[in-house]
Chains A and B, each alone.
Chain A
């Protein structure tokens, strides 16, 4: 009897495991469910176009996304990657010359000015799959948009940024309670930062947050008074703290931090500072499209896939940013980038901030830190 029970339990477990795998596989395929004949026509036209060309600011996305997208749709995805400034320069010249070679762009919000020039194609009408447009799949019951019209710049991720990174061999986390603690003389020459005089989710975004929260005098006292050392390389910034070259890093991002942690660099820690818990940003998750995309159907398929559960799973797994979809939960996303319940975080991924406030704050920071 006991033997029979054991066998029955084993079979039950095996069936459950198979069911779980099957459910997962089904979920992977289900993203197109309910698309209908119109979607099938778009898919066929996309396949006929042969490929989609995607520009991404996070180079790490290229290979996993290309593989997953081709597996899911049979359409080849080519990726343009590299430093954002270079991608942006390319977008701008192609759009203004009316010779666009990029179908989709996934980066930050720097393309917002293109809206005023009429260079962007609305994205919202191109989202057609029920699993994308149904509000029940999205946190707060709606898709997030960076633009006020809620049509052009889709924000797939929203996470906490602006935290400090410390080396616990050099700094006792219990002694850090406030951002103002970093102004202590013992931190002079011991802080590094991604260069705050340049755009992107690293240095300048962190300094902008601190300037908005504590004022420009604090930024000056911190960056100039504490003789902060700058780098343009986010990996080098984390490596400096891991090696103990510097005790604290400002403007670090989670990718390199988690990579070092996974290799046993447990001396790295992100302390929670209640007086400045960080701001919310969309990082390089914002999807948009220039007018005149060369492969419009393949682009439409890609955009729907990107906003779907499997697309967001790939995005979140690579970038370690939490998705704005409810059904995407990647365990590797660190807790310090997920908003804490009950804590207020200013959201800087808004058109007003991006177009009106951000340039002024950025200019003030650049001026305060020695000019451009």
Chain B
């Protein structure tokens, strides 16, 4: 039995000409359509890269008159710290395969096995991914710090423990913080919609043929959702190279510097070393290009792994056994440790006179909450975040779906180039992307009038989330056989109606997931928007960042709890909408 679709196995992937449909609905002029799409995607992804590339050769620095030189490149490529930071980046990326494995198992248990409390557990995972990373990292420090961590102190009471057993200021500590708060949850989030779109009959056929659970997983489930797994792996890897807040906070004291913190260092130094920072950013784009080309090859190799065809599809899952209750309890315990503990510390910290000092004379106060809640800037920030998040989430998801559909269903000219271009925003650290975008906006007539409004923030967040949005929707559309759309077309529906009535509803679980990802990215992103936000209207994340940088972690914790509450509400709402739309069943 095999699911490769290239032999006579029990699972056959549809290899019909799925592009015929696109031709039928009018996308005949492949070249013109290709040029139009290439230009549109290049405009938002390639132009900032070009800007950064040019500036890497400008020895005068960003925004100043151009003077050609290779100083930035020479420095970037010969500096020992830069090389060390690249090494650490790859070392810390080891968390991605770990998270993928754990995330896949959890997602499979939640979706295909439907263990007791699956919805609740999935909800908590979404929630944990949306929690603000930096305040929760401070929570982990209070729990695991080698000198004063509460868990270390508790462990010291054990007879066989004579020193700190945990340390957050280490490679293992940084990996743990990421795994617990973001990497594992995001893997579940990315894999769950793909697992949901599996026809239960395919797994049942395996079971009927005598295959055990593991063999069914290995020979049927995993191959069927291989594109989604690959996307999650690559997206996770690239994204891991771009993150820097946790690494900066935990790594600096012990000399751990990663690629992104290195670039931030070069920009944050006084005077800023822009040419070197831009050269390093550009250099990393080469890594990204190689990875994305490999992805393209792999995606093409997987072909159209449709799991939903025109015939009736049953998405229900396996029946429960007693063991599922044990698994469910274990997962709840895991979440209590990885999410519950740092979140509790965050909430307690918001009520501390001094964040994390629980044993002083009068440790508790409501003053932090009172101050933040009565601050008009906080209310404005909540409104801004919601508006920008909704706009970026809705517009972004629709655009990603359109681009993904074009990439999967059409054969327009330069399709492969577009697919590679879509990855570019993740090859640039947020701050550098923000720098490039703001410079472009400031120096482009007409567009410059938008500078200072909320539109640049919406555009920036749409660009920033484009890689994950388009790639995951690609896999989702790839799971739907084109015969479904062809049937609608035969019934006389035009492209708009088919996209709106057939494609979008079928990929709505993934659309919902992508909307939430973009929305919450807007809620939590600091680096991309910090240079674009209007002074009078910060987002909640920027407000939290302001509190952090002005040594007010108690107030930052309050904003962190507000973001967490908002994310809980939005996640619950989205799940509710998902149920109403019946997209998860």
Interface of A with B (CB < 8 Å)? 51, 53-55, 58-60, 62-63, 78-86, 88-90, 92-94, 96-97, 99, 101-102, 110, 113, 192, 195, 197-200, 204, 229-235, 239, 243-245, 255-256, 259-260, 263-265, 359, 362, 370-372
- Tell me if A62 and B148 are in contact (CB < 8 A): no
Could you tell me which residues of chain B, from 514 to 548, have a CB within 8 Å of some CB in chain A?
530-531, 534-536, 542, 545-547
Closest to A92 in B: B63
Contact with A along B35-76 (1 / 0, CB 8 A): 000000000000000000000000000111000000000000
Q: Given A59-B549, A63-B375, A96-B63, decide whether A101 and B452 contact each other with a Cβ distance below 8 A.
A: yes
Shortest CB distance B246–A (Å): 13
- Tell me if A83 and B354 are in contact (CB < 8 A): no
Contacting residues, chain B, for A229 (C-beta < 8 A): 253-254
- Tell me if A231 and B269 are in contact (CB < 8 A): no
- Tell me if B438 and A90 are in contact (CB < 8 A): yes
**Complexed CA–CA distance, A222 and B488 (Å):** 76
- Tell me if B252 and A82 are in contact (CB < 8 A): no
**Complexed CA–CA distance, A110 and B271 (Å):** 8
15 more CB-based (< 8 A) A-B contacts, given A93-B435, A199-B271:
A55-B535, A59-B547, A59-B550, A60-B550, A85-B272, A92-B63, A93-B439, A101-B451, A192-B253, A198-B265, A234-B551, A260-B354, A263-B360, A265-B360, A359-B271
- Tell me if B81 and A83 are in contact (CB < 8 A): no
Answer whether residue B267 sits at the interface, using C-beta atoms and an 8 A cutoff: yes
- Tell me if A83 and B253 are in contact (CB < 8 A): no
Contact with A along B340-358 (1 / 0, CB 8 A): 0000000000000110110
Q: Given A82-B530, A110-B270, A243-B147, decide whether A102 and B551 contact each other with a Cβ distance below 8 A.
A: no
A-B contact pairs, 19 of them (CB 8 A): A79-B535, A81-B550, A82-B545, A82-B546, A84-B270, A86-B431, A88-B270, A89-B267, A93-B63, A97-B63, A97-B448, A101-B535, A230-B252, A231-B253, A263-B360, A264-B360, A359-B271, A372-B81, A372-B273
With beta carbons under 8 angstroms apart, the residue of B249, B431, B443 that contacts A97 is B443
With beta carbons under 8 angstroms apart, the residue of A255, A256, A260, A371 that contacts B80 is A371
Answer whether residue B478 sits at the interface, using C-beta atoms and an 8 A cutoff: no
- Tell me if A97 and B439 are in contact (CB < 8 A): yes
Interface of A is mostly: mixed
Q: Given A82-B530, A85-B269, decide whether A99 and B451 contact each other with a Cβ distance below 8 A.
A: yes
**Complexed CA–CA distance, A243 and B254 (Å):** 18
**Complexed CA–CA distance, A84 and B268 (Å):** 8
- Tell me if A63 and B549 are in contact (CB < 8 A): no
Shortest CB distance A264–B (Å): 6
Answer whether residue B553 sits at the interface, using C-beta atoms and an 8 A cutoff: yes
Q: How many residues of B contact A (CB 8 A)?
A: 54
Contacting residues, chain A, for B552 (C-beta < 8 A): 59-60
**Complexed CA–CA distance, A90 and B442 (Å):** 10
Contact with A along B454-498 (1 / 0, CB 8 A): 000000000000000000000000000000000000000000000
Contacting residues, chain A, for B253 (C-beta < 8 A): 192, 229-231
Answer whether residue B385 sits at the interface, using C-beta atoms and an 8 A cutoff: no
Answer whether residue B208 sits at the interface, using C-beta atoms and an 8 A cutoff: no
Closest to B145 in A: A245
- Tell me if B530 and A86 are in contact (CB < 8 A): yes
**Complexed CA–CA distance, A94 and B542 (Å):** 20
**Complexed CA–CA distance, A79 and B380 (Å):** 13
Q: Given A80-B535, A264-B361, decide whether A198 and B270 contact each other with a Cβ distance below 8 A.
A: yes
**Complexed CA–CA distance, A198 and B269 (Å):** 5
Contacting residues, chain A, for B145 (C-beta < 8 A): 245
**Complexed CA–CA distance, A102 and B452 (Å):** 10
With beta carbons under 8 angstroms apart, the residue of A84, A94, A255, A263 that contacts B354 is A263
With beta carbons under 8 angstroms apart, the residue of B79, B148, B265 that contacts A243 is B148
Could you tell me which residues of chain B, from 254 to 288, have a CB within 8 Å of some CB in chain A?
254, 265-273
Answer whether residue B291 sits at the interface, using C-beta atoms and an 8 A cutoff: no
**Complexed CA–CA distance, A336 and B254 (Å):** 31
- Tell me if B252 and A232 are in contact (CB < 8 A): yes
- Tell me if B551 and A94 are in contact (CB < 8 A): no
Shortest CB distance A305–B (Å): 18
**Complexed CA–CA distance, A259 and B148 (Å):** 20
- Tell me if A88 and B81 are in contact (CB < 8 A): no
Answer whether residue B92 sits at the interface, using C-beta atoms and an 8 A cutoff: no
- Tell me if A245 and B147 are in contact (CB < 8 A): yes
**Complexed CA–CA distance, A197 and B252 (Å):** 12
Closest to B452 in A: A101
Answer whether residue B377 sits at the interface, using C-beta atoms and an 8 A cutoff: yes
**Complexed CA–CA distance, A59 and B553 (Å):** 13
Contacting residues, chain A, for B266 (C-beta < 8 A): 372
With beta carbons under 8 angstroms apart, the residue of A53, A83, A195 that contacts B549 is A83
With beta carbons under 8 angstroms apart, the residue of A93, A233, A245, A256 that contacts B442 is A93
**Complexed CA–CA distance, A85 and B274 (Å):** 11
Contacting residues, chain B, for A235 (C-beta < 8 A): 551, 553
**Complexed CA–CA distance, A113 and B452 (Å):** 25
With beta carbons under 8 angstroms apart, the residue of A58, A89, A199, A239 that contacts B531 is A89
**Complexed CA–CA distance, A244 and B145 (Å):** 13
Q: Which 7 A-B pairs have the closest CB atoms?
A: A199-B270, A78-B536, A59-B550, A80-B535, A85-B268, A97-B442, A235-B551
**Complexed CA–CA distance, A197 and B268 (Å):** 10
Contacting residues, chain A, for B375 (C-beta < 8 A): 63
- Tell me if B148 and A245 are in contact (CB < 8 A): yes
Count chain A CB atoms within 10 A of each CB in B438, B546, B552 and give the residue with the most.
Answer: B546
Shortest CB distance B510–A (Å): 34
**Complexed CA–CA distance, A370 and B80 (Å):** 10
Contacting residues, chain A, for B272 (C-beta < 8 A): 85, 88-89
